[in-house]
Structure 1
Amino acid sequence: MRAVSDVRGWGVARRVVSSVGLALGLLQASAPACAVPSFDEVRQDWRASDWILLDRRGEPLQRLRADMQAQRGDWVTLAEVSPAFRQALIASEDKRFYEHSGVDWRGVAAAAWGNLWHSRTRGASTLTMQLAGLLDDDLRPSTRNRSVTQKIGQAATAVWLEQRWRKDQILEAYLNLVPFRGELVGISAVSQTLFGKLPIGLDAREAALAVALLRAPNAAASRVSQRACGILRDMGQATDCNGLDGYAQLVFSRPANVMTTRDAVNLAPHFARRVFSASRPPAGTRITSTLDANLQRVAVTTLQQTLRELGTPGRSRNVQDGAIVVIDNASGDILAWVGSSGALSSAAQVDGVTSLRQAGSTLKPFLYAQAIAEQRLTAASLLDDSPIDLPTGGGLYIPQNYDRHFKGWVSARTALGSSLNVPAVRTLVMVTPRRFARTLVALGLPLTQSGDYYGYSLALGSADVTLLSLTNAYRALANGGAASGVKERTSETVRTRGDNAKGTARAEGYTAVFSPQVSFIVSDMLADRQARTRTLGLDSPLSTRYWTAVKTGTSKDMRDNWAVGYSRRYTVGIWVGNADGAPMWDVSGVSGAAPIWHRVMDYLHRQTASLPPAPPPGLEHVAVQYAEHVEPTREEWFLPGTSQSTIALSSLATKAPGGPLWRIAGPADGTIVALDPDIPPANQRLWFQVAAAWPKGAAWRLDGKPLVGRARTGWLPWPGRHTLELVDAAGVVRDSIRFEVRGATLTDGKRMRNASR
């Protein structure tokens, strides 16, 4: 027993010496504390763990995680922390914070006394001493317990801080620097991540749970709630302990790396990744972009609302994705960038603004612009909208209109406004795919192949483009045919970017692709609601109460639909589809993308007028009259030297008398038909058809022999060279074409001949 008593006495003596040594050491430890920074330096050096994207007025748009070692929010002032949290912190960590001068001597004495009798005490570490450890890595304990040297250093630094910092500065710095749980550092991160609110909104129960983490950051939820209940009792709010354990379980089951408050805005994730990935600035960097936060919110809401309408029960259209981009015509500033439909999408990380998609009919305005510029057409020129077979290296190319109907002779204005496919293909035959492809590349569209690769289907948008490049190409029309890059940032490090054929950045400045006169004519055609009536009628989402020029497009199998158009000040591009390329169900550019385009345009012009542009010098404005009432009389715009006051259909008639009704529309003259011996002959019919309605008294004649049939007649091919004639009731040949059939054996030929009888 005496030996035990001696050991106990030695332990008591050692603990007393330790406590006394701590007090004496404070007088000798001022030198290391002199390196502690000022409050202003600490605040200025603070860096959030995120990149922050700001809109053009400085409003936060998006936060992106940059520092993966810790999660820190923005610096929070003491006034931005709820009184409940401050009360919980003082009650738990430093009851005499506002009374001591860095070291709580009463606490030191209580700790020393407790050490003498092996009783459990709170400890003597004040908030100021803890802050000293946060400011100086040498004073920060590597384990749960601090060494005597660290205790002395913390105490000395605390005294130094209290002499130079105000109490509110000490508390504010502590709240921002202290780690709470896992990677969460500072009151901003823990408040937003665990409770989904800003620090000013924390109530007593939430504050107690957060403060309880300071002693045991990674403890189980039950242990944290037990300690939080003790803090609530110290605050005089013991009733808040009811149900606290279950609430703690819910709080700590949330993802620990997601901020969910308004401060953690999520308006432009795709745009932010694009901007920050280019330069990879340090964490905490704030970049002012060209985006408009209010417009961005409207665009996001409009896209999601329209897709929900398309997906309502009973009328689902199998569409879940979309994208929007808005560009200021004059400056090239990107004002809105919505890369996906967010929660509605199964591939929300895919950026629909920069994804390659088939352009559909949205390339037609550039085709007609080139044809007008080359003086191959005018807006008043007549084009034949009737069946056409174009021989290609892979066989016949037979374009069809969207509604599967043909309109006969129409003007170029009507053909573009009503988005007729066959006239567009006929126009491309004049322009040639190779030259048209070069024009598209000059506009910044990312074509990776030559025009010959796409062939005549390029007129109908077979090339892949991005929404950004397509919208910016339309902006070139709005700017008088001058193409230029877009701007993403308003800071001094602004870069201009555009998607060209090689995917590299476009040079600053403008490139004249079309003349202002040509651009004006095409814009006038796109703005003409009368020209759209053949396909869309007068009342469609493309009609606005102010001046706009717009075009829709739908790709093959309804996989993509577009609406791209411009006013005097803005160009707006919309894409709707599915990120995985799945086809939509009965969704066209008019029903899918156009309503979104219209709503965004309405918001942009709620207080901004958009008057028709003034015609540039040199254009001729001439009244045009169509013979045979093909189209109504109207005034039309012409390039100098190309105007016509009367356009007669007879000038476009075929070589035989009788007008264009007596014309063979298919197959084309000189067609070579290759038969496949592996396909049953009965399934390889060749179709003969006229350009319009079946003329009265007309008849077919093949190789000099009558052929039974009318406007569209199927014939089982016979190998050899053939002559097809369209004759009238008197037997006079009105039109004829020659074609050749190859590839069938004699046996096949006999079967074909028998089958054709």
Structure 2
Amino acid sequence: MAFVIAASLMILAPAAHAVPSFNEVREDWRASDWILLDRHGAALQRLRADPSARRGDWVTLEAVSPAFRQALVLSEDKRFYAHSGVDWRGVAAAAWGNLWHSRTRGASTLTMQLAGLLDDDLRPNTRNRSVTQKIGQAATALWLERRWRKDEILEAYLNLVPFRGELVGLSAVSQTLFGKLPVGLDARESALAAALLRAPNASASRVAQRACGILREMGEPRECDGLDGYAQLVFARPANVVMRDAVNLAPHYARRVFSAGHPPPGTSIVSTLDAGVQRMAVATLTQTLREMNVPGRRRNVQDGAVVVLDNATGEVLAWVGSSGELSAAAQVDGVTSLRQAGSTLKPFLYAQAIAEKRLTAGSLLDDAPLDLPTGGGLYIPQNYDRQFKGWISARTALASSLNVPAVRTLVMVSPRRFAQTLVALGLPLTESGDYYGYSLALGSADVTLLSLTNAFRALADGGRASPIRERLTPPASARHGSSAAEAAEAHDIAAKQVFTPQVSFIVADMLADRHARTRTFGLDSPLTTRFWSAVKTGTSKDMRDNWAIGFSRRYTVGVWVGNADGAPMWDVSGVTGAAPIWHRIMEVLHRHTQSPAPVAPSGVVRQAIHYSGDVEPAREEWFLDGTAQSEFALAAMSTAAPSGPMWRIAGPADGTIIALDPDIPPERQRVWFRVAAAWPAGAWWRLDGQRLGASARIAWLPWPGRHTLELVDAKGAVRDTVRFEVRGATLRDGARMRNAGR
């Protein structure tokens, strides 16, 4: 029998010359995953690309534990290091056993098995191999042993051999079943893995029984204790468990990059991300969210997202799409999800007003109740704290994020032109400015964290809006100066000048002014850093979204927190939600990076200014050339009592429909009644037949229905009347219903 096999090997030997070399096999190896690399070549994320099999990276023999190498040889080929591809002693034993129908192990060596893995024609389709396949494997094994080293044969085998189910290669089985890299396999784990080769789909008990035999041959009989239970536990793990080397730092970013082209499995893409920055951003987000939800002060905030951009190139350095295990919707990418912008749009509004020379940073704006008639009713903006500051400068209005002055500014600019500016900055507005109306000043439009952060980067880059960069070829560590110069040139070509450098400088200076933001945030808040930075917060209606977007000289960082399902947060403001995360990330980024205040560009002048009536302290202010002034004063209101306008109701206008905001508690909302001029002596207000009060401006707690407001003189004569309607309030007590008469 052995003579027949040897003769056949001589005939089939020339066919073995088609077997590839070791280097060709290794180069053709493809993992079953896509691999996202950072800008320096470090692995960031693995995504499953091949559903038919699970293969890890190629494992060198040096990266495999000695225990597994010993278990493999003892289990599959005890004379591996002695034979030349075919174990003739094993062939003789197998032939004798087949003659007498005894159950003996076949004569397949590791080299012969490798031959079957390299050539599909030599790979058995059933449990038993045919004689022709055996002879073909033996011929190929002889050829392999003459051209490959023993360590190469062993290394290729342990990478190509299927173990169990979809698991191919030692890397996949080691990480999936045992949660560790092959270099860390101990004797017990090695024996179980080696036992799978003989019977990949056997029961856990049968695999444990065979593994125990291998352990005895290894001189480790004590490891058999409890082996059956351990095997049951190992093989009960879900089949879709993530492999341990599948770093999980940027899942949303990886899906975005690979879904764009769907490259073949094993493809690696070099991103612009920095693994260190990404890891730090992930840790900062999750740690801060945990702190916000400790027992006793839960804020009901589960989700968050972070983006870090390089100002000069637009390269994405960090992309954190969710809070991971803290989130009930971890697959949702918070970086690209549409959310209401809140007050984060105000810097662009003031930039446009300054560019159009409708305002300067020192111009005075009235932070007082404002009623704006619209097609759908009366628009009544409120400040975040429901208080009004009176006359303040545009600098203070922006830095302190006051709503009423922003709406007054939008009236100057117009919603239509402001919406066009936002679109030019790359924000995904789907409607015209007239659709949003005056609420656009307070961020009623939906935006993404990515587009919003990149729009702030435009302010940091002298008013130039340009696309972000997500991929690098080759890695940054291998790029030469010419490649970096080409990237910079491409950035300049793609840039669109939305604001001038002069306007961008002034707005950035306003956002960086910690004194100007004290009206709302105080001097000591997470918005203040130890280096120069400009930042803006924002909160959407009903506390559903909270933002902090800001930039230094080198980086722009955007943070969003909220809940993926839209549930409102509890007791979260601009400085208690996203701002602490923004602050911590900025501080880490600038541990070794300076961020000095920018130098004023030509076309900007600094002027000492003074406000009459001590509206604000005297200071120095930045102006565009031709707009500077040193004195700011309010026009004196006449104290005379004109005979006509003094008896006219200035607000609300006759026929107004007041639509109350459902996200503001009804008891916190007010409608202001006021006259057109000085308050007439002896005058008083009457609403729906009931005396209301006697002052030039009076706040009224609204309730639904149609109402009649009258201005009455001292003799009881009605001097002016308006009729208006309130919609949208919720009645919670019968007394209000009786008073309303509706």
* CA distances 1:549-597 after superposition (whole Å, capped 9, x unpaired): 0000000010000000000000000000000111011112210100000
Which residue matches 2:398?
416
Distance 1:617 1:366 in 2: 21
User: Shift of residue 21 of structure 1?
Assistant: 2.5
TM-score (norm 2): 0.89
Q: Give the C-alpha shift of residue 259 in structure 1.
A: 3.0
1:188 and 2:171 correspond: yes
Counterparts of 1:533 and 1:393 in 2: how far apart (Å)?
Answer: 36
Which residue number in structure 1 is paired with residue 606 of structure 2?
621
SS at match of 1:51: strand
Aligned match of 1:646: 631
> What is the CA distance between 1:114 and its match in structure 2?
2.1
Is this contact kept in 1: 2:376–2:657, CA < 8 A? no
Gap change, CA 1:148 and 1:675, over 3 Å in 2: closer
Q: Is the 8 A contact 1:437 1:447 kept in 2?
A: yes
Contact conserved, 1:387 with 1:406, CA < 8 A, in 2?
A: yes
Taking the aligned partners of 1:665 and 1:245, their CA distance within structure 2 comes to: 93
2:60 matched residue in structure 1: 77
Q: Which residue of 1 aligns with 2:545?
A: 560
1:505-533 CA-partner distances (Å, limit 9, x unpaired): x9961101001111001000000000111
Does the 8 A contact of 2:646 with 2:680 survive in 1? no
Cα distance, 1:223 vs structure 2: 0.8
Any conservation in 2 of the 1:71–1:184 contact (CA below 8 Å)? yes
* 2:95 match: 112
1:538 maps to 2:523: yes
1:178 aligns with 2:200: no
* Other structure's SS at 2:430 match: coil
* Counterpart secondary structure, 2:565: coil
* Residues 648, 720 of structure 2: 8 Å contact kept: no
Question: What letter corresponds to residue 230 of structure 1 in structure 2?
Answer: G
- Residues 522 and 723 (structure 1), Cα distance of their counterparts in 2 relative to 1, 3 Å cut: farther
1:219 match: 202
1:163 to 146, 152, 165: 146
Match of 1:210 in 2: 193
RMSD over aligned Cα, in angstroms?
3.2
Cross-structure match for 1:364: 346
User: In 1, distance between residues paired with 2:281 and 2:209?
Assistant: 47
- The one-letter code sitting in structure 2 at the alignment partner of 1:712 is I
Q: Secondary structure at the match of 1:471?
A: helix
| Deviation by residue 1:684-719 (Cα, 9 ceiling, x = unmatched) | x9944469xx9998954679x996334525499999
Cross-structure match for 2:6:
23
Mark the CA change 1:272 to 1:477 in structure 2 (over 3 Å): closer, same or farther.
Answer: same
Whether 1:300 aligns to 2:285 is no
For 1:634 and 1:294, how far apart are their aligned partners in 2?
42
CA gap 1:48/1:326 in 2 versus in 1, 3 angstroms: same
Task: Please state if 1:491 is matched with 2:473.
Answer: yes
Give the Cα–Cα distance (whole angstroms) in 1 for the partners of residues 399 and 658 of structure 2: 39
Work out whether residues 52 and 63 of structure 1, in 8 Å CA contact, stay in contact via their aligned partners in 2: yes
Change (3 A) 1:239 1:664: farther
> 1:547 pairs with 529, 532, 549, which one?
532
CA distance in 2, matches of 1:158, 1:120: 24
Partner of 1:595: 580
| Distance 1:57-1:699 versus aligned 2 partners, 3 A rule | farther
Provide closer, same or farther for how the CA distance between residues 667 and 175 of structure 1 changes in structure 2, counting only shifts above 3 A.
Answer: farther
Partners of 1:669 and 1:738 within 8 A in 2: no
Query: Pairwise mapping of residues 181-580 of structure 1 onto structure 2 (< 5 A)?
Result: 181-261=164-244, 263-491=245-473, 509-580=494-565
- d(CA) in 2 for partners of 1:380, 1:122: 92
**Deviation for aligned residue 1:113:** 2.1
Structure 1 residue 584 corresponds to structure 2 residue 569: yes
Which of 581, 585, 590 aligns to 1:605? It is: 590
CA distance in structure 1 between the partners assigned to 2:332 and 2:740 by the alignment:
54
State the distance in 2 between where 1:645 and 1:706 align: 47
Are the equivalent residues in 1 in contact too, given 2:546–2:560 (CA < 8 A)?
yes
Counterpart contact for 2:652–2:672, Cα < 8 Å: no
* Alignment match, 1:7: none
* Conserved 8 A contact 2:673-2:699: yes
The residue number in structure 1 matching 2:620 is 635
What's the offset of the Cα at 1:620?
1.5
Partner Cα separation in structure 2 for residue 688 and residue 541 of structure 1: 35
Q: SS of 1:590's equivalent?
A: coil
Aligned residue identity for 1:322:
G
Any conservation in 1 of the 2:360–2:623 contact (CA below 8 Å)? yes
Q: Residues 101, 688 of structure 1: CA spacing in aligned structure 2 closer, same or farther, 3 A cutoff?
A: closer
Distance 2:300 2:260 in 1: 35
Cα offset, 1:317, TM superposition: 1.0
- SS in structure 1 of the partner of residue 325 of structure 2: helix
Per-residue deviation at 1:111?
1.3
Looking at structure 1, the residues matched to 521 and 355 of structure 2 have their Cα atoms a distance apart, in angstroms, of 27
2:548 maps to a residue whose letter is A
3-state secondary structure, aligned to 2:337: coil
SS in 2 for 1:254: coil
> 1:24 Cα shift?
2.4
Aligned-partner residue type, residue 140 of structure 2: T
CA distance in 2, matches of 1:129, 1:718: 90
Residues in 2 aligned to 1:514 and 1:557: alpha-carbon distance in whole angstroms? 32
Secondary structure of 1:430's partner?
helix
CA contact (8 A) 2:703 2:726 kept: no
Q: 1:121: Cα distance to partner? A: 1.9
CA distance in 1, matches of 2:376, 2:596: 48
Q: Which amino acid aligns with 2:44?
A: L
The separation in 2 between residues aligned to 1:271 and 1:215, in whole angstroms, is 41
Q: Which amino acid aligns with 1:69?
A: S
The answer for the alignment partner of 2:730 in structure 1 is: none
Question: TM-score, structure 1 length as denominator?
Answer: 0.87
Structure 2 counterpart of 1:712 = 698
Residue 459 of structure 2 aligns to a residue whose secondary structure is: helix
CA separation of 1:686 and 1:144: change in aligned 2, threshold 3 A: closer
Q: Judging changes above 3 Å, is the alpha-carbon distance between structure 1 residues 298 and 718 closer, same or farther for their aligned structure 2 residues?
A: closer
Which structure 1 segments of 5+ residues have no match?
Answer: 1-16, 495-505, 677-682, 745-751
Instruction: Judge conservation of contact 2:378–2:658 (CA < 8 Å) in 1.
Output: no
Distance across 1 between alignment mates of 2:424 and 2:649 = 35
